[in-house]
Each structure stands twice: as structure tokens, then as C-alpha cells.
Amino acid sequence: MRNMLMRNLILAALIAGKAAIADEVANHPEVDFSSLPRLGSNWLATNPYRGNTDAIRVGQLTYGQTCARCHGADASTNAAPAPDLRRLNAFCRRVEDAELKAACMRDNDDYFSKTVRQGKTIVGVVHMPAWEPVLSQELIWAVQSFIESRVEVSKR
């Protein structure tokens, strides 16, 4: 009986913690991305900017204003309340066959863009707001390019 009570108290605290995160709405970043090639409104299947240094710069600015408060400053910590985004393509990075690796990255990009655009709502609780209303396609792929550049830094 006591254990049940403790368990419920812990659950309530956990849910309250998540809800505090969830109260936040997606905020509009102030980032000039006019130097990047325009992508239009049809969502691409894969990141067209991967490795582009300008996209990485724009992505870093955008990440700092929109993702850092939950996912950690400069995508360089795994102590943040939300998942370490550098791990997202860890599986694909280990695939050696070029064709399989490309397929893996396509799935990874699809998951990234869909998750970021739609946010994460689990049993009615918003864990992450939807970013589609405030981030353009250019900025979402730029953020991913930045996160991937941090993987390279952390491997050194």
C-alpha cells in the first residue's frame, strides 16, 4: 500500500515535470537564412544541406534560440531534460555498405523532419511543441546539419 502511494507520488512528480516542459510553445527564432538556397514548401525526403558550412552556421544560431533550452547548449551535452540529438544517426553511421547507409540516412532524415515539424505529444501530454508553424524547411534542415557537425566534434 505504502509502495503504491510512493509510486503514485513519483509518477505525479514526473508528469508535472514533463508538463512544465510542455507549457512552452514553439518560439520564432530571429535568424537570417537568405544565404541558403531556397527549398520551397514541398518537404524534401533528405537533408539537402548536409555538410554545408553556411547551413551549419545558420543551424547553430537557430538551434541556440529554439532547441538548446531542452536539448542542451550547442548540442554538446547529454545532461539536458530532452534526448541528446547527436545520437539520432548513430546507427546509420555504423553501417558500412554505402547503399544501406544512404537508405538508413533517408529514414533518419524522414524521422527528424517529421518529429520536428509535428512535435511529440504522448498520451495527450506535449513533450515537445510542433515546430512547423514557426520554422521554415530551410531552418529545420540547417538545424540538423548543425547537430550532425557536433557529432564530428564529439568524436575527435
Residue ranges binding ligand HEC (CB under 6 A)? 21, 24, 66-67, 69-71, 82-83, 85, 88, 112, 115-116, 120, 122, 127-128, 131, 143
Cα dist. 103→57, 81, 93, 106 in Å?
26, 30, 12, 5
Identity of the residue, 106 or 127, whose beta carbon is nearer to ligand HEC in the bound complex:
127
Q: How far is the CB of 42 from ligand HEC (least distance, A)?
A: 20
Contact 125, 18 (CB under 8 A): yes
Identity of the residue, 66 or 145, whose beta carbon is nearer to ligand HEC in the bound complex:
66
Identity of the residue, 95 or 126, whose beta carbon is nearer to ligand HEC in the bound complex:
126
How far is the first Cα of the chain from the last one, in angstroms, to the nearest whole number? Answer: 51
Q: How many CB atoms lie within 10 A of CB 63?
A: 25
DSSP state of 36: S
Q: How far is the CB of 127 from ligand HEC (least distance, A)?
A: 4
